[in-house]
């Protein structure tokens, strides 16, 4: 009998209600290791809510979340981070007056040790510094290690944000609009960076830029009104009549962002 690998991350029957409003209704999804999937859909479709459920920021009203086959539904975000899950947020969450190194070191510390004092760990400080340097190198900020984060361009700040998600070397990365606010001149560089960090990882990202979604994704998941509408390869989604009618058709000129997000 052939062994079937567990999905890297999955949710089963997830429903999220905010009072009377149902933001997610019975959503089941599984992502195979090493794939990059994009979550698309109009504003309010439930994309961020789903990412929040997967990362532990929101406890679902019903359903469960599995990480590498293990039920993590009741684990807090930092506990999930320690089991190999990284996430970024729609807004940049770095400390502008701290240097790139300080941001990364603090990020590594918070994720690796939580509220525990890091100096309890053997060689904790050196390990944090080395991890921070490696992350800076990966996201192309090695030359800016000692620059205040606030002095970086927006694209570089996004790169730093991505670096922060890598401090625990996560197997699964959840990225909420990693290109939000990145100007045209920096998009190619940011996309190349995502391509680099996805190596050896499973990535689920929310993105409104359809050109980027169609070029980097192994698969596309389309949501609307808190439910799954369709799922498939970029080519399949382009050809899907329901998806075309809703998002990719005449209403949506090629290359234009979908929904609210504007690109400078």
Ligand X SMILES: Nc1ncnc2c1ncn2[C@@H]1O[C@H](COP(=O)(O)OP(=O)(O)OP(=O)(O)O)[C@@H](O)[C@H]1O
CB of 144 to ligand X, least distance (A): 29
Give how far Cα 123 sits from Cα of 118, 126, 135, Å.
9, 6, 18
φ and ψ at 89, to 5 degrees?
-110, 160
d(CA 132, CA 154): 20
By beta-carbon proximity to ligand X, the closer residue of 232 and 259 is 259
By beta-carbon proximity to ligand X, the closer residue of 41 and 170 is 41
Contacts of 116 (CB under 8 A, 6+ apart): none
CB of 54 to ligand X, least distance (A): 12
Residues 230-259 that bind ligand X (CB under 6 A): 259
* Interface pick for ligand X out of 10, 37, 49, 108 (rule CB under 6 A): 49
By beta-carbon proximity to ligand X, the closer residue of 43 and 233 is 43
By beta-carbon proximity to ligand X, the closer residue of 41 and 68 is 41
* Interface pick for ligand X out of 18, 28, 150, 185 (rule CB under 6 A): 18
Instruction: Count the neighbouring beta carbons within 10 Å of the beta carbon of residue 87.
Output: 22
d(CA 96, CA 149): 5
By beta-carbon proximity to ligand X, the closer residue of 149 and 203 is 203
**Beta pairing class for 62-67 and 9-18:** antiparallel
d(CA 51, CA 47): 6
Nearest CA to 54 out of 36, 68, 73 is that of: 73
- Window contacting ligand X (CB under 6 A); options: 37-45, 127-135, 142-150, 160-168: 37-45
Stretch (H or E) spanning 183: none
d(CA 136, CA 87): 17
Verify binding: residue 47, ligand X, rule CB under 6 A: yes
d(CA 169, CA 82): 10
By beta-carbon proximity to ligand X, the closer residue of 23 and 216 is 23
HSE-CB for 11 with a 13 A CA cutoff = 27
Verify binding: residue 56, ligand X, rule CB under 6 A: no
Verify binding: residue 45, ligand X, rule CB under 6 A: yes
Instruction: Count the neighbouring beta carbons within 10 Å of the beta carbon of residue 133.
Output: 15
- Window contacting ligand X (CB under 6 A); options: 26-34, 39-47, 77-85, 214-222: 39-47
By beta-carbon proximity to ligand X, the closer residue of 29 and 104 is 29
Verify binding: residue 205, ligand X, rule CB under 6 A: no
Number of residues that bind ligand X (CB under 6 A): 13
Q: CB of 179 within 8 A of CB of 189? A: no
* Interface pick for ligand X out of 27, 48, 56, 60 (rule CB under 6 A): 48
Verify binding: residue 87, ligand X, rule CB under 6 A: no
Verify binding: residue 20, ligand X, rule CB under 6 A: no
Binding region for ligand X (CB under 6 A): 18, 21, 23, 41, 43-49, 259-260
């Amino acid at each position: 009998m052939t062994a079937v690998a567990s999905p890297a991350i999955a949710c089963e029957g997830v429903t999220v209600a905010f009072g009377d409003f149902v933001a997610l209704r019975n959503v089941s999804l599984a992502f195979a290791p090493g794939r990059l999937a994009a979550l698309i859909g109009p504003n309010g479709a439930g994309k961020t809510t789903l990412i929040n459920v997967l990362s532990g920021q929101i406890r679902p009203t019903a359903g469960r979340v599995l990480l590498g086959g293990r039920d993590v539904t009741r684990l807090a975000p930092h506990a999930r981070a320690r089991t190999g899950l990284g996430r970024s947020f729609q807004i940049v969450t770095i400390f502008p007056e701290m240097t790139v190194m300080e941001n990364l070191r603090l990020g590594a510390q918070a994720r690796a040790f939580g509220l525990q004092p890091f100096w309890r760990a053997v060689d904790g400080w050196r390990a944090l510094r080395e991890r921070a340097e490696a992350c800076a190198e990966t996201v192309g900020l090695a030359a800016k290690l000692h620059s205040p984060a606030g002095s970086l361009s927006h694209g570089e700040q996004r790169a730093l944000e991505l670096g922060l998600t890598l401090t625990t070397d996560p197997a699964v990365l959840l990225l909420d609009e990693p290109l939000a606010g990145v100007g045209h001149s920096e998009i190619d560089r940011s996309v190349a960076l995502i391509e680099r960090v996805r190596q050896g990882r499973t990535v689920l990202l929310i993105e409104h830029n359809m050109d980027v979604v169609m070029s980097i994704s192994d698969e596309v998941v389309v949501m609307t009104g808190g439910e799954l509408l369709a799922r498939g390869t970029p080519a399949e989604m382009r050809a899907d009549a329901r998806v075309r009618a809703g998002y990719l058709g005449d209403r949506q000129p090629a290359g234009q962002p979908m929904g609210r997000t504007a690109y400078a």
